[in-house]
Amino acid sequence: MSDIHIRIEGRAGRITLTREKALNALSYDMCLAIDAALKDWAKDDAVALVVFDAAGDKAFCAGGDIAELYETGTKGDFAYGRTFWRDEYRMNARIFEYPKPVVSFLQGFTMGGGVGIGCHGTHRVVGDSSKLSMPECGIGLVPDVGGSLLLALAPGRLGEYLGTTGYRMDAGDAIYAGFADHYIPETAWPALIKTLEETGDTAALEAAAQPAPESKLQAMQGDIDATFAGETAADILTVLRGREDSFAADTLKVLERGAPLSIATTVEMIHRLRSSTVTMRRALDLEYRFTYRAMDMGDLLEGVRALIIDKDKSPKWQYADGNVPAVAVSQMLQPLGAEALSFEEES
């Protein structure tokens, strides 16, 4: 497949995203190819570890390829999107639960679907160009691909802040928030990958890692915890509107652009995950409840139209006044019964 290069080099299973012109956006076929390789290598003693990287310097993976989702969804065909998400989420879980080390090199943009393949492994490497984010609320989705688990585990109320604003983390932020492990200058990456291929040993990563750059998020932690501690998105907005400072003003500006239903549901998801015995499968199950309904009950098609297709940047959101009824959030997160996400596809 021209969009992805999958092979074994020495002791390493190698997965390189090669859709450089599309910022290595993840297609359904790429998801299936990654999943198939991971299944094979799990049982192959010749493969000691897995390495993810990507072509170009602009992006590791700027998200999922939503053109097909939009095209099918606008015709009333929701099955394609539901199948894509189901199989993608199973692949995300496989990376998280993988029995061998999984190393990812995250240059440039790592967003949405890119987080799902790049941030669930055992050794997540960032450099000076790295920009990580979960911007789904801006198009009428919620942080998915297992991102809600990372958000629920982030320090303090960072999860609510990152999940609703889509804030772009640099290398220092990503390590502080738990989305990455090692800061290594990008000039060192090619030689490191060669060493991983030759040795099958991750010790070289720890040896090459340098102290993480200062995190802007860490400096903002006090403001974030003070304003994002509410039970609901409405509580958060009330606190922000009651403050007269640049942090509150800047944050409100971003939140008021996003889809209100998505923002309200994101806050609820993170709270549920944080208060439960949190697992990757629990997070993916909750995410799938929303994405399963995102096109017919949510704002996804309108968000994609306004921001990506027509680019008028004037989406007509549901609950545009920001007052999202609790029942609307509950409906998006109701169990799916027979349609629930399952992980027993191989049994």
Structure confidence by residue, pLDDT tens digits, 146-172 = 999 999 999 999 999 999 999 999 999
Structure confidence by residue, pLDDT tens digits, 70-104 = 999 999 999 999 999 999 999 999 999 999 999 99
Q: Residue 245, SS3? A: coil
What is the maximum span of the chain, computed from C-alpha positions, in angstroms? 60
Catalytic residue numbers, as ranges: 64, 113, 136, 144
Residues 235 and 28: their CA atoms lie apart, in Å, by 38
- Rounding to the nearest 10 degrees, give the CA dihedral for residues 72, 76, 78, 80: -30
CA distances from 74 to 68, 71, 264 (A): 10, 6, 24
pTM value is 0.96
Structure confidence by residue, pLDDT tens digits, 26-66 = 999 999 999 999 999 999 999 999 999 999 999 999 998 88
The pLDDT, as a whole number, for residue 346 is 47
DSSP alpha helices (H): ranges in 141-278?
147-153, 158-165, 171-177, 189-199, 203-208, 216-227, 233-241, 246-255, 260-275
Q: Is the pLDDT of residue 341 over 90?
A: yes
Please report which confidence band the pLDDT of residue 312 belongs to, taking 50, 70 and 90 as the band edges: very high
User: Whats the size of the chain, residue-wise?
Assistant: 347
Residues 227 and 248: their CA atoms lie apart, in Å, by 8
Domains and CATH numbers, the chain: 1-347 (3.90.226.10)
